[in-house]
């Protein structure tokens, strides 16, 4: 029986459950603590930095030899901006690091930091997305006139004709308010200088350790060999821990400078102020439909507020260019025109957050379908049926190739599972009693597991995408799998161990997965973009298959059989159809210690593999059922159903866990979480009393059904599943709210749909009627 496909409890867990996990803050005791002094204003000129007497304050002048973070897209519509590690002359957002101090512990460092006086002459900032695009708006960076850092544009030739012949044109304005990925563990680093060899090891809570090392070496002007980056246990990332942050450069510089251990453990307020934000997006779209509900053309004006700087390495293009390329989603869009801009403002820098632009583009397409159905008098399921991609491979208007999926079938399965007719009865009964129930649908595709071609197409100067894996078998028959990917809580180690155990005929517990350490793992890109299982999984299979081939060769020789006759299973190399078997550990030992007998066999028990797939599309349908309290505007999500097609499930329990967590973050996006700045660019949501991740009380039971369309786009048959929950949930919840409030004829096109916004919509609907 194979390990793949089993809901194996995770190998990572016993350590974590006993409180023996090792997160970066656990490594800080004994190190000196760094505290950053941050700009209290959104925009201004630094006139001076006054150090309290006897206190060493580090400023940009100290870091004169350190480079600036300057991510690049090689495209004419991109304006590169540079972010200094510590602000030089000017500050560009409230929270930007201007200086730092060092003390024996965190409290003492905070005491010193609050005594540093930043003499900053404040200037009027630009904060709001659309305000930044107005003519004459204040410019965030002089090199970016109009505040546009990146712009994608395209228009198919037949778009005007599509609108000219449309029976109905639906126009929508959608807004997603700013969100924080808010991992439970904040950022942090401990940098240790080794006086023996002059190397510095940075332990940091990050998702891309190799990339971080490259970025740090470039900034510090040193060979990568002088640096080692280790991601220990990471308390969640969701994209927030992908980027090269200035704080890490400062920390490593300091460790090399003072030649001692130094730590920076971010506090929650700093995390809200200065880590990374996302999803501050405004989409204006028009859809042209024929009388039977077929979408003829789509025109979009997409704006993303990317904050003060561009995140490294993926750049500020990540939200606007994904929105531009993937807006059509799972739908056939014959004609397409779009303009998508990344807009810089005096706010915290945007970085990818689980789903990136897709929660908003899914909301857009799903609101479009709902609105068109209503306008044309069609059933909302039927209009989707007519427009969903139904032939594969499908080429989108932006050139994306969809491999085989189950777009329509997943929707049909979801609709059947929730029993829509029964719900409509309950809805009518409830309405008669003044209660407002609603059901909402969301269908989407999720581009996952994409390799270098996708990133190269974006014009990235640094092109991520492949993964490398090294697999070795020691003389005791245990496997070590060294991966360039860098899990941060998903359970990737367990799932990879299952794959490799099947190749090598051992138990998953005999597979040690090594990750997150640049000294011990091959160069790789880390974990993001729903890629790890697909790409690191594919590379793991390739590498372990090479080791398995060698094992079979040795075993065949030992037992006088041919390689083709050898099966590796249950810890034995068996000759098929016989009862001859040798324990794998004995084969391994022989391969290591009796190698002269197998000198003619190619390869060894240490193999590496490289995998760089083109990419694949997962797909899903979400259904939310809500009740809206029309007097308060409060929404309760009562039921949530997911029909997911992520291809082959390696560990179904882990897959479900990814969907659960994603849906919860999507519900948060739909109803609760919002980063708020005042007009002067001061952050108003710097605590968990004001920024509102949901508790168990706000998250309903989540039901999951699986479909498993196996396409040949990936080696393992698995498609990515890390982001889907987050992508689909907002649209399902919003559609459900709109359905609940259909007696009022209300549209909700802004998330989070807070109680206040819903009440305002109900009020204005009532006012316009009277």
Partner 1 sequence: MTDRLATTLDVNGRSYSVTVEPRKSLADALREDCGLTGTHLGCEHGVCGACTVIVDGKPVRSCLMFAVQAEGLAVRTVEGLAEGDELHPLQRHFWEQHGLQCGFCTPGFLMLVAGAFEADPTIDDAAMMEVLSSNLCRCTGYQNIAKAVSLALKDMRAGR
Partner 2 sequence: MKPAAFDYHRPTDVAAALALLDLHGADGKVLAGGQSLVAAMNFRLARPGVLIDVNRLAELDYLRVEGGHLRIGALTRHAAFHRPVVEGPLGRLLSRVVDHVAHYPIRQRGTFAGSLAHADPASEWCLAATVLDAEIVVRNLRGERLIPAAAFFKGTFTTALEPDELIIEIRLPLLDAGWQGGFSEFSRRAGDFALAMALAALKVEGGIIRAAKLGIGGVADRAIRLSGIEAALVGREATESSFRAAGAEASHALEPGADIHASSGYRRDLIAAMVTRALAEAAA
Among partner 1, partner 2, none, partner that 707 touches (CB below 5 to 8 angstroms by kind) = none
Pairing state between β 188-193 and 262-265: antiparallel
Q: How far apart are CB 20 and partner 1 at their closest, in Å?
A: 7
**Which residues are 287's β-sheet partners?**
170, 298
CB nearer partner 1, residue 647 or residue 725: 725
Pairing state between β 702-707 and 566-569: unpaired
- Site map (CB under 8 A) of partner 2, residues 256-285, x = contact: -----------xxx----------------
Give the integer Cα–Cα distance in Å for 373 and 370: 5
Under rule CB under 8 A, residue 755 binds partner 2: yes
Report the site for partner 2 in 77-106 (rule: CB under 8 A).
Answer: 106
By the 8 A CB rule, do 245 and 660 touch? no
CA end-to-end distance (rounded Å), the chain:
69
CB nearer partner 2, residue 67 or residue 693: 693
Q: How far apart are CB 30 and partner 1 at their closest, in Å?
A: 9
Tokens of 536: 């690191």
By the 8 A CB rule, do 185 and 504 touch? no
Under rule CB under 8 A, residue 40 binds partner 2: no
Give the integer Cα–Cα distance in Å for 345 and 665: 26
CB nearer partner 1, residue 183 or residue 307: 183
CB nearer partner 1, residue 247 or residue 656: 656
Under rule CB under 8 A, residue 435 binds partner 2: no
Among partner 1, partner 2, none, partner that 632 touches (CB below 5 to 8 angstroms by kind) = partner 2
Under rule CB under 8 A, residue 619 binds partner 2: no
Tokens of 87: 């602000």
DSSP class of residue 21?
-
Identify which range of 78-86, 149-157, 375-383, 627-635 contacts partner 2 by CB under 8 A: 627-635
Under rule CB under 8 A, residue 519 binds partner 2: no
Position among 74, 114, 165, 194 found at the interface with partner 2 (CB under 8 A): 114
Position among 5, 16, 77, 110 found at the interface with partner 2 (CB under 8 A): 110
Q: Work out the burial of residue 568: count CB atoms within 10 Å of its CB; fewer than 13 is exposed, 13-18 middle, 19 or more buried.
A: buried
Among partner 2, partner 1, none, partner that 664 touches (CB below 5 to 8 angstroms by kind) = partner 1
Task: Write out the DSSP string of 294-360.
Answer: -EEEEEEEEEEEEESS--TTT-TTHHHHHHHHHTTTTB--SEEEEEEEEEE-SSPPB---TTTTHHH
Position among 121, 143, 379, 690 found at the interface with partner 2 (CB under 8 A): 690
* Alpha-carbon 410 to chain mean position: 24
CB nearer partner 2, residue 78 or residue 272: 272
Tokens of 699: 């998250």
Distances (CA, A) of 362 to 355, 507, 731: 10, 41, 6
- The secondary structure element, H or E, covering residue 500 is helix 492-504
Tokens of 583: 């324990």
Q: Work out the burial of residue 196: count CB atoms within 10 Å of its CB; fewer than 13 is exposed, 13-18 middle, 19 or more buried.
A: exposed
The contacts of residue 689 (CB under 8 Å, 6+ apart) are none
CB nearer partner 1, residue 116 or residue 296: 116
Q: How far apart are CB 535 and partner 2 at their closest, in Å?
A: 37
Position among 111, 290, 563, 612 found at the interface with partner 2 (CB under 8 A): 111
Among partner 1, partner 2, none, partner that 388 touches (CB below 5 to 8 angstroms by kind) = none
Give the integer Cα–Cα distance in Å for 300 and 736: 24
* Alpha-carbon 386 to chain mean position: 31
CB nearer partner 2, residue 97 or residue 216: 97
Distances (CA, A) of 57 to 52, 172, 495: 8, 51, 47
CB nearer partner 1, residue 105 or residue 123: 105
Tokens of 408: 């329509």
Among partner 1, partner 2, none, partner that 653 touches (CB below 5 to 8 angstroms by kind) = partner 1
CB nearer partner 1, residue 61 or residue 107: 107
Under rule CB under 8 A, residue 768 binds partner 2: no
Q: Hey, is 735 helix, strand or coil?
A: helix
Q: How far apart are CB 624 and partner 1 at their closest, in Å?
A: 13
If we measure between CA atoms, which residue out of 318, 284, 280 comes closest to residue 301? 284
CB nearer partner 2, residue 268 or residue 339: 268
By the 8 A CB rule, do 13 and 657 touch? no
Chain residues that interact with partner 1, rule: CB under 8 A: 7, 9-10, 12-14, 16-23, 25-26, 29, 105, 107-108, 111, 182-186, 233-236, 238, 267-268, 488-491, 653-654, 656-657, 660-665, 687-689, 693, 695-697, 699, 701-702, 725
Report the site for partner 2 in 631-650 (rule: CB under 8 A).
Answer: 631-634
Identify which range of 58-66, 168-176, 412-420, 624-632 contacts partner 2 by CB under 8 A: 624-632
Give the integer Cα–Cα distance in Å for 284 and 543: 47
Under rule CB under 8 A, residue 760 binds partner 2: yes
Where would I find the H helices in 377-489?
Answer: 380-387, 407-418, 420-432, 452-457
- Site map (CB under 8 A) of partner 2, residues 735-754, x = contact: -------------------x
Under rule CB under 8 A, residue 606 binds partner 2: no
Q: How far apart are CB 13 and partner 2 at their closest, in Å?
A: 24
Tokens 């949901």 belong to: 694
If we measure between CA atoms, which residue out of 206, 244, 255 comes closest to residue 67? 244
Q: C-alpha angle 508/511/517, rounded to 5°?
A: 135
Give the integer Cα–Cα distance in Å for 532 and 442: 25
CB nearer partner 2, residue 189 or residue 329: 189
**Which residues are 37's β-sheet partners?**
99
Under rule CB under 8 A, residue 184 binds partner 2: no
Under rule CB under 8 A, residue 175 binds partner 2: no
Among partner 1, partner 2, none, partner that 5 touches (CB below 5 to 8 angstroms by kind) = none
- The secondary structure element, H or E, covering residue 36 is strand 32-38
Among partner 1, partner 2, none, partner that 234 touches (CB below 5 to 8 angstroms by kind) = partner 1
- Site map (CB under 8 A) of partner 2, residues 224-253, x = contact: ------------------------------
Q: How far apart are CB 486 and partner 1 at their closest, in Å?
A: 13
Among partner 2, partner 1, none, partner that 29 touches (CB below 5 to 8 angstroms by kind) = partner 1
The site for partner 2 (CB under 8 A) is made up of 106-107, 110-111, 114, 267-269, 629, 631-634, 672, 676, 684-685, 687, 689-690, 692, 694-695, 697-698, 754-756, 759-760, 763
């Amino acid at each position: 029986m194979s390990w793949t496909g089993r809901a194996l409890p995770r190998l990572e867990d016993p350590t974590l459950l006993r409180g023996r996990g090792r997160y970066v803050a656990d490594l800080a005791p004994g190190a000196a603590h760094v505290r950053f002094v941050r700009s209290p204003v959104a925009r201004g000129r630094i006139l001076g930095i006054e150090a309290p007497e006897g206190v060493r304050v580090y400023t940009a002048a100290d870091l004169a030899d350190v480079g600036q973070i300057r991510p690049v897209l090689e495209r004419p519509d991109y304006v590169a901006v540079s972010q200094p590690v510590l602000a030089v002359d000017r500050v560009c957002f409230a929270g930007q690091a201007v200086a730092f101090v060092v003390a024996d512990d965190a409290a003492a460092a905070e005491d010193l930091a609050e005594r540093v006086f930043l003499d900053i002459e404040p200037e009027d900032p630009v904060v709001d997305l659309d305000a930044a695009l107005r003519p004459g708006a204040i410019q965030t960076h002089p090199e970016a006139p109009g505040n546009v850092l990146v712009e994608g544009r395209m228009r198919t030739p037949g778009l005007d004709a599509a609108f000219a012949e449309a029976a109905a044109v639906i126009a929508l304005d959608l807004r997603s308010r700013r969100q924080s990925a808010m991992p439970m563990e904040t950022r942090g680093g401990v940098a240790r200088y080794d006086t023996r060899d002059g190397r510095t090891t940075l332990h940091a809570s990050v998702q891309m350790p190799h990339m971080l090392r490259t970025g740090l070496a470039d900034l510090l002007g040193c060979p990568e060999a002088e640096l080692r980056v280790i991601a220990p246990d990471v308390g969640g990332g969701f994209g927030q821990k992908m980027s090269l942050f200035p704080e890490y450069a400062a920390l490593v510089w300091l460790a090399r400078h003072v030649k001692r251990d130094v730590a920076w453990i971010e506090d929650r307020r700093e995390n809200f102020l200065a880590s990374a934000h996302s999803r501050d997006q405004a989409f204006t779209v028009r859809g042209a439909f024929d009388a039977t509900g077929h979408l003829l053309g789509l025109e979009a004006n997409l704006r993303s507020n990317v904050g003060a700087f561009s995140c490294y390495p993926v750049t500020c293009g990540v939200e606007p260019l994904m929105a531009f390329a993937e807006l059509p989603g799972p739908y056939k869009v014959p004609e397409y025109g779009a303009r998508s801009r990344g807009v810089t403002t005096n706010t915290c820098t945007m970085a990818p957050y689980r789903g990136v632009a897709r929660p908003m583009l899914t909301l857009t397409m799903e609101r479009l379908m709902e609105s068109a159905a209503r306008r044309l008098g069609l059933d909302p399921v039927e209009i989707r049926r007519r427009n969903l991609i139904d032939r594969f491979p499908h080429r989108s208007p932006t050139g994306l190739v969809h491999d085989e999926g189950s777009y329509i079938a997943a929707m049909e399965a979801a609709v059947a599972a929730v029993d829509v007719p029964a719900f409509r009865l309950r809805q009518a009964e409830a309405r008669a009693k003044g209660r407002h129930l609603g059901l909402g649908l969301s269908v989407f595709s999720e581009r996952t597991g994409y390799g270098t071609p996708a990133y190269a197409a974006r014009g990235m100067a640094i092109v991520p995408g492949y993964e490398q894996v090294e697999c070795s078998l020691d003389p005791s028959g245990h496997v070590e799998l060294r991966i360039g990917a860098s899990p941060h809580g998903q359970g990737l180690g367990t799932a990879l161990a299952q794959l490799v155990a099947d190749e090598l005929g051992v138990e998953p517990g005999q597979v040690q997965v090594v990750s997150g350490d640049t000294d011990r793992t091959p160069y790789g890109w880390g974990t993001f973009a729903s890629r790890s299982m697909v790409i690191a999984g594919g590379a793991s299979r390739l590498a372990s298959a090479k080791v398995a081939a060698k094992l079979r060769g040795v075993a065949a020789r030992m037992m006088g059989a041919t390689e083709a006759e050898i099966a590796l299973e249950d810890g034995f190399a068996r000759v098929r159809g016989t009862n001859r078997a040798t324990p794998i550990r004995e084969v391994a030992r022989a391969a290591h210690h009796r190698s002269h007998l197998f000198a003619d066999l190619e390869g060894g028990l240490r193999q590496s593999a490289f995998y760089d797939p083109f990419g694949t599309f997962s797909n899903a349908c979400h259904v939310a059922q809500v009740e809206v309290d029309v007097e308060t505007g409060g929404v309760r999500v009562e039921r949530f159903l997911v029909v997911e097609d992520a291809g082959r499930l390696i560990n179904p329990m882990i897959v479900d866990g990814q969907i659960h967590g994603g849906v919860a973050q999507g519900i948060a996006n739909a109803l609760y979480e919002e980063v708020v700045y005042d007009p002067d660019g001061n952050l108003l949501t710097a605590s968990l009393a004001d920024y509102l991740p949901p508790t168990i009380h706000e998250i309903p039971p989540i039901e999951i059904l699986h479909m498993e369309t196996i396409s040949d786009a990936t080696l393992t048959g698995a498609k990515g599943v890390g982001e889907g929950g987050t992508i689909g949930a907002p649209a399902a919840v919003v559609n459900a709210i709109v359905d609940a409030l259909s007696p009022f004829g209300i549209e909700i096109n802004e998330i989070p749909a807070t109680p206040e916004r819903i009440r305002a919509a109900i009020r204005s609907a009532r006012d316009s009627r009277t």
